[in-house]
Structure 1
Amino acid sequence: MSFLIESIWKEYFKKWNITDCAVRDAGAVYLCLREKVNAEKASLSWDHDIRSQLFVLDVLSKIGDRFGSTILEGFSKPMLGVCTKPLRQGMVVSQNHDGQVNLMGGGVHSSEEFIDRGGIPATRRVKCINEFAYSIGDFHNIYKRDGVGLWVKLQGFPMLEASISQGFKDMDAFSESDMYAVGGDGDVWRFDGTRWQQQGFPSNLQLATVTCAGDGYVYISGEGGSLWRGRESNWELIYKGSASIMWNDVLWFENRLWLASDYQLRVWNGKEMISPTLDEMPDGKKVPVYGHMDARDGLLVVASPSVVMSYDGREWRTLVSPY
């Protein structure tokens, strides 16, 4: 049974697809929704012609009736992020020339700012690191949101031409003096607190995600769903994938590595990829979600196009599902 009440689902979800999720804290889950359009209309439209929606659900309420919603026009390939500094907010970022951002929370229902007007930040992911939001993008573009309306571009990278062989898709950190950014064809960089340096990597496959895990290792995923483990310039391939797509999100939660793609949710148990089950039993019913995920403050959330589930380390809970 869905936590979100039926009347809210009918008004805000019935005609929309869920495309991303972000956890601000144990009480606030943000969702990005895109309006459903038929194939013919979609083929004649630009991505920014499709309306987007930023939705936040209070998952600590007694029933699923406490929420906020903002309809957005003109957002291209929107993605979600959160921050707790300078304010506790959720945000949706557009892949346009200005890096348009719509924010919710922190005492405001909705506000707007820009990562870099005319600067083409080319955002591919928004990551919350040490409580601040970062925009990670093509051409080695990384911006830190240092204050309200203030996105500061990180320096120390070579200038790049438009190419998929270099540029970033993800970033993560153990601390502000031990950060990793990856993307392109085996393009791996590390910040040691003073400067960014390119690291050696044993593959020129396209890279998708990087995770600084609780076991002290850095995990990098890439083309085919393959997975590497290591630090700095020392890496080993621990899983050779054969998928046609890459992992969307890879994160560390409850002492395990979780991985989500457009059609799979998996856990790396140190030896193999396994499917998580609702009751934690090997032969139990598989968790019926996939797509995108986020975790923070003891809460993991996974969002499929029509279903959203959360996991607190003990039990799974359906937050959103069709009525």
Structure 2
Amino acid sequence: MPLQIPRQIPGMTLVDARLVAPGSGALIVSVDELFQQDEPNAVLSWLEAGKLTSIPVEWNACSVDIRQIRPYPQAIYLGEAGQLVRFDGQSFHELPSIEGVEPQGPLRSIRTIGADFTLVVGTVLQVYCSRDWTLWEAETIPLLPGEQALDLAVEAVAAFSSDELYAVGWQGLLCRRTAAGWERLDAPTNLDLFDLVCAEDGSVYAVGDEGVILKGRGDVWTLIEQDETCEKLWGVASFAGRVFVSDMRRLYEIVGNELIPLAPPDDEVFPSSTYRLRTTEEGLWSVGGKELFEFDGQRWKPLLSFFDQ
């Protein structure tokens, strides 16, 4: 089989992405030259049928997610200071920013849960929720004795349902949100945690600094001991009954209580720049700083390639 050569895009770095269907989804990229000059910037994009629809913005975008709404899926792009842009399948629309963010510190992630619930999280334990992407309400994660919110951040959120959400962050931060509100959970680590997934096997997996991996649900959490890597683990995703993990250079799979590096197939292109992992029922995206790959459960397909000018 001939190798598939992805579209080549110079002078940009992929920040985040979310797929909605094979070959289609939302992307955030930054312009390398502007980033090196400490100039806030982002290019918000929608990829479909090999075509990119994009708009530039003069602020740092950090996260994007998808809401499945008929007739077109909707993307919501988040800026570090609470800026919001919606893509409705046809065009981009600026929304009112989340109020009160900038004095506290940058936001980290936006996630939609179900048909109409969205959470935004960030530094200083910021949490905001909305059902319409216009009105946002701040929520409170409790502090433990001796803690200061300035030392903590929420990095990522995942959910089994709107009544059972989990969040992770700095210094082993592990939280659960139920109908009663947010509560702190006892994590078996004080290392920073960067991502988590509510997996198909009914467990939650969280990954972070120095190769740390947690597995659990509710009040019971354990460490998955592994000696494959001490690198920061940035991404974890559940797809086709498997749990995948990524650092900045390699992909892994959690098999039982072991972390197994994925071996590149002999006859196809394989990700070499990795970072985040994003899924739908139909596919998995490996979102590297310089590469976007799609996995259908059998083969890896390159979609985009970014390189230095």
Instruction: State the TM-score, normalizing by the size of structure 1.
Output: 0.80
Q: Tell me which residue corresponds to 1:312.
A: 296
Cα distance between partner residues in 1 of 2:286 and 2:138: 30
Q: Tell me which residue corresponds to 2:137.
A: 152
Of the three residues 154, 158, 163, the one matched with 1:172 is 158
Unpaired runs of 5+ residues, structure 1, are none
Q: Does residue 1:143 correspond to 2:143, yes or no? A: no
Cα distance between partner residues in 2 of 1:241 and 1:52: 37
Cα distance between partner residues in 2 of 1:16 and 1:27: 20
RMSD: 3.0
Residues 19/156 of structure 1: CA separation in 2 closer, same or farther (3 Å cut):
closer
Of the three residues 63, 70, 86, the one matched with 1:103 is 86
Q: Does residue 1:290 correspond to 2:274, yes or no? A: yes
Answer yes or no: is the 8 Å Cα contact 1:83–1:133 preserved in 2: no
Aligned length: 299
Q: SS state of the match for residue 224, structure 1?
A: helix
Post-superposition CA distance 1:285-321 (Å, at most 9, x none): 8543412221113121112233211011122211113
Amino acid at match of 1:297: E
Residues 306/196 of structure 1: CA separation in 2 closer, same or farther (3 Å cut):
closer
Q: Does residue 1:54 correspond to 2:38, yes or no? A: no
Q: SS state of the match for residue 224, structure 2?
A: strand
Cα distance between partner residues in 2 of 1:179 and 1:28: 27
Matches within 5 A, 1:43-122: 45-46=37-38, 49-58=39-48, 61=49, 64=50, 66-73=51-58, 75-76=59-60, 78-84=62-68, 88-96=73-81, 99-118=82-101, 120=104, 122=106
Identical aligned residues as a percent: 21
Cα distance between partner residues in 2 of 1:275 and 1:216: 23
Answer yes or no: is the 8 Å Cα contact 2:42–2:57 preserved in 1: yes
Cα distance between partner residues in 2 of 1:216 and 1:300: 19
Deviation, 1:35, is 1.0
Residues 197/117 of structure 1: CA separation in 2 closer, same or farther (3 Å cut):
closer
Residues 259/136 of structure 1: CA separation in 2 closer, same or farther (3 Å cut):
same
Q: SS state of the match for residue 185, structure 1?
A: helix
Residues 149/78 of structure 1: CA separation in 2 closer, same or farther (3 Å cut):
same
Unpaired runs of 5+ residues, structure 2, are none
Cα distance between partner residues in 2 of 1:118 and 1:218: 29
